[in-house]
């Protein structure tokens, strides 16, 4: 059944209100204007008035234009035919190739029943010690990269994407610069993964409402692959652009903003997307990595702040390095107990000592005398930054752990690093005779 309506009574921002009875909430419509046609989605029903957000924006929409309601919510094509393809935020091909005509699924499926989720237990190796040793990435994790504009966050995203060895890679670009889009394509092509990659790209030049759809399209497609047993990796960049698009719509709908203009349901809106990361009990999984640029390098800004409360940790990218402070993988303990017996001990000790080093540096910078202990911490900090933190370092986990032990042994006595005796005995790279328990006994004598 096709329903046409043409009594447009309000146009504001990206929202058009039309008189139309019998329309379902969240339903899609096509609006035809002089510029062509665009999809639109119902966002409010009031008696016979229907408000819709127009995907391509309301520029040029006139009160004489017509809307045709489709009687269904937003849908997207799925399946293997999508592999290697590139689409825009409305789901139309962007690569000049024909439309994909496969089975359609609704976007924004209901929540997964927690009973049907597995406990994630597979580490995703990245070759980056700051991730593998200190904040292991785990299959089905949802994890953002927090960074300021200008940091190589898209490069990091692409690098992890390549190393992660997923069956299907889905890239969602929101407000992406065209150059960045080309760069992703190039990287994936060189890495030989383009054939199992699907891209939904909204560039800064495209209508803002389409930006809002990108995550939903990516996640709906990814979810279908995961249900078929595939291990999916979804990369979303930049979720701040997505949030700003939400803000824009909320303001047009005259919602009362809660914090710096963002709507009160920002948390819910973001959570509904991030929670699509899943390890199905009896099917595949979807891992979700996202970029969140922090306006003004401020982590308390509503977008990174709400994101942090939703995701399973975050990687802070600053000065081209993944910061040990603030970076966190909340799922690391699901996997780092089974890697090697010293993994957790090293992880804690190295960070605690690096924190102390930072204090010593502050003291030094203020011109205070350095105690022998401070000197050791300073030495440690330099080694740690150069041999472990640098993003150029690309070594497997065990090698990275060994390297940490070497740095510790070079800078400290065994009793100073806060690791229990049994582990030190097994891993300390130097002979233990002249230190540790012996020294304690000596001093007591």
Partner 1 sequence: MNGQIVAVYGSLVTAESQGRIVQNAIAFCERSDGARLLSEVVRVRGQRADLQVFEETRGLKVGDPVDFQENMLPAVLGPGLLGQIYDGLQNPLPRLAEDAGFFLKPGMYIHALETDTRWDFTPTATPGEKVQAGSTLGTVPERIFTHRIMVPFRWQGEFTVESVADPGAYTVEQEIAVLKDASGEAHPVTMQQEWPVKVALNCSRRRLMPKDPLVSRVRIIDSMFPVVRGGTYCIPGPFGAGKTVLQQITSRHAEIDIVIVAACGERAGEVVETIREFPELIDPRTGKSLMERTIIICNTSAMPVAAREASVYTAATLGEYYRQMGLDVLLLADSTSRWAQAMRELSGRLEEIPGEEAFPAYLESRIAAFYERAGQIELADGSVGSMTIGGTVSPAGGNFEEPVTQGTLKVVGAFHGLSRSRSDARRYPAIDPLDSWSKYTGIIEPRKVERIKDLLRRGNDVHQMMTVVGEEGTSIEDFVVALKADFFDNVFLQQDAFDEVDAATPAERQKFVFDKVLSVADMEFDFEDKEQARKTMVEISDLFRNLNYAATDSEEYKKTLSLIEEFIATRGRKA
Which of these ranges, 193-201, 240-248, 365-373, 383-391, lies near partner 1 under the rule CB under 8 A?
Answer: 365-373
Is residue 139 involved in binding partner 1 (CB under 8 A)?
no
Closest CB to ligand ATP among 309 and 325?
Answer: 309
Q: How far apart are CA 3 and CA 23, in angstroms?
A: 9
Cα torsion through 152, 262, 246, 14, rounded to 10: -130
Shortest distance, position 277 Cβ to ligand ATP, whole Å: 15
Closest CB to partner 1 among 368 and 396?
Answer: 368
CA-closest candidate to residue 303, choices 286, 320, 287, 290: 290
Shortest distance, position 194 Cβ to partner 1, whole Å: 30
Using DSSP, state whether 369 is helix, strand or coil.
coil
CA-closest candidate to residue 253, choices 301, 295, 212: 212
Shortest distance, position 169 Cβ to partner 1, whole Å: 22
Which of these ranges, 73-81, 185-193, 283-291, 325-333, lies near ligand ATP under the rule CB under 6 A?
Answer: 325-333
Closest CB to partner 1 among 44 and 178?
Answer: 44
Q: Among residue numbers 165 through 204, which ones bind ligand ATP (CB under 6 A)?
A: none
Closest CB to ligand ATP among 134 and 262?
Answer: 134
Shortest distance, position 309 Cβ to ligand ATP, whole Å: 4
Identified binder of partner 1 from the candidate list 59, 62, 102, 300, rule CB under 8 A:
300
Is residue 363 involved in binding partner 1 (CB under 8 A)?
yes
What residues are paired with 176 via a beta bridge?
A: 203
Q: Among residue numbers 33 through 72, which ones bind partner 1 (CB under 8 A)?
A: 44-48
DSSP annotation string for 208-240: HHHHHHHHHHHHHHHHHHHHTT-EEEEEEE-HH
Q: Among residue numbers 380 through 439, which ones bind partner 1 (CB under 8 A)?
A: 415-416, 418, 420-421
Identified binder of partner 1 from the candidate list 215, 284, 302, 381, rule CB under 8 A:
302
Shortest distance, position 315 Cβ to ligand ATP, whole Å: 14
CB-based contacts of 435, cutoff 8 Å, min separation 6: 413, 414, 415
Residue 119's binding partner, choosing from partner 1, ligand ATP, none, with beta-carbon cut-off 5 to 8 A by kind? partner 1
Q: Are 54 and 16 in contact (CB under 8 A)?
A: yes
Closest CB to ligand ATP among 295 and 308?
Answer: 308
Query: Beta strand pairing status for 285-293 and 142-147?
Result: parallel
Token code pair at residue 209 = 């409402």
Is residue 309 involved in binding ligand ATP (CB under 6 A)?
yes
Shortest distance, position 420 Cβ to ligand ATP, whole Å: 15
Closest CB to partner 1 among 29 and 194?
Answer: 29
Identified binder of ligand ATP from the candidate list 318, 321, 330, 344, rule CB under 6 A:
330
CA angle 148, 150, 154 (to 5 degrees): 90
Q: Is the peptide bond preceding residue 101 cis, with omega within 30 degrees of 0?
A: no
Closest CB to partner 1 among 22 and 60?
Answer: 22
Within 10 angstroms of residue 406's Cβ, the number of other Cβ atoms is 14
Is residue 344 involved in binding ligand ATP (CB under 6 A)?
no
Shortest distance, position 14 Cβ to ligand ATP, whole Å: 32
CA-closest candidate to residue 132, choices 376, 343, 408, 429: 343
Identified binder of partner 1 from the candidate list 344, 361, 379, 387, rule CB under 8 A:
344
Q: How far apart are CA 280 and CA 154, in angstroms?
A: 28
| Burial (CB count within 10 angstroms: exposed 0-12, middle 13-18, buried 19+), residue 96 | exposed
Q: How far apart are CA 203 and CA 212, in angstroms?
A: 12
Identified binder of ligand ATP from the candidate list 133, 290, 328, 389, rule CB under 6 A:
328
Q: How far apart are CA 407 and CA 427, in angstroms?
A: 12
The count of chain residues that interact with ligand ATP, using the rule CB under 6 A, is 5
What residues are paired with 172 via a beta bridge?
A: 200, 236
Shortest distance, position 252 Cβ to partner 1, whole Å: 14
CB-based contacts of 431, cutoff 8 Å, min separation 6: none
Closest CB to ligand ATP among 276 and 376?
Answer: 276
Is residue 284 involved in binding partner 1 (CB under 8 A)?
no
Shortest distance, position 265 Cβ to partner 1, whole Å: 5
Site residues (vs ligand ATP, CB under 6 A):
308-309, 328, 330, 333
């Amino acid at each position: 059944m096709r329903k046409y309506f043409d009594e447009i009574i309000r146009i504001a921002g990206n929202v058009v209100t039309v008189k139309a009875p019998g329309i379902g909430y969240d339903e899609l419509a096509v609006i035809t204007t002089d510029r062509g046609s665009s999809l639109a989605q119902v966002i409010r029903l009031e008696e016979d008035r229907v408000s819709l957000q127009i995907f391509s924006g309301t520029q040029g929409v006139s009160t004489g234009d017509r809307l045709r309601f489709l009687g269904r919510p937003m849908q997207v094509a799925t399946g293997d035919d999508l592999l290697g393809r590139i689409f825009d935020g409305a789901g139309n091909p962007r690569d000049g190739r024909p439309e994909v005509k496969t089975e359609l699924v609704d976007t924004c499926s209901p929540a997964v029943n927690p009973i049907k989720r597995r406990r994630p237990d597979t580490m995703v190796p990245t070759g980056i010690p700051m991730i593998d040793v200190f904040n292991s990435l785990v299959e089905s994790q949802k994890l953002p990269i927090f960074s300021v504009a200008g940091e190589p966050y898209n490069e990091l995203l692409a690098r992890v994407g390549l190393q992660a060895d997923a069956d299907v890679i889905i890239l969602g670009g929101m407000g992406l610069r065209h150059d960045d889009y080309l760069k992703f394509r190039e990287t994936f092509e060189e890495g030989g993964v383009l054939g199992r990659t699907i891209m939904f790209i909204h560039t800064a030049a495209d209508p803002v409402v389409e930006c809002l759809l990108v995550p939903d399209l990516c996640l709906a497609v990814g979810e279908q692959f995961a249900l078929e047993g595939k291990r999916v990796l979804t990369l979303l960049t930049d979720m701040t652009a997505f949030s700003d698009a939400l803000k824009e719509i909320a303001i047009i709908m005259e919602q009362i903003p809660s914090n710096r203009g963002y709507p009160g349901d920002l948390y819910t809106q973001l959570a509904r997307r991030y929670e699509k990361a899943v390890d199905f009990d009896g099917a595949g999984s979807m891992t979700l990595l996202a970029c969140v640029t922090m306006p003004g390098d401020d982590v308390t800004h509503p977008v990174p702040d709400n994101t942090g409360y939703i995701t399973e940790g975050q990687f802070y990218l600053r000065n081209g390095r993944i910061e040990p402070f603030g970076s966190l993988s909340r799922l690391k303990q699901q996997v780092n107990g089974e890697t090697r017996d010293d993994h957790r001990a090293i992880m804690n000790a190295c960070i605690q000592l690096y924190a102390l080093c930072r204090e010593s540096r502050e003291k030094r910078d203020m011109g205070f005398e350095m105690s022998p202990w401070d000197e050791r911490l300073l030495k440690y900090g330099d080694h740690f930054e150069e041999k472990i933190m640098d993003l150029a370092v690309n070594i497997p986990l065990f090698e990275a752990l060994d390297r940490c032990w070497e740095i510790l042994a070079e800078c400290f006595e065994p009793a100073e690093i806060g690791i229990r005796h049994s582990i030190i005995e097994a891993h300390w790279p130097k002979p233990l005779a002249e230190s540790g328990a012996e020294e304690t006994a000596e001093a007591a004598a």
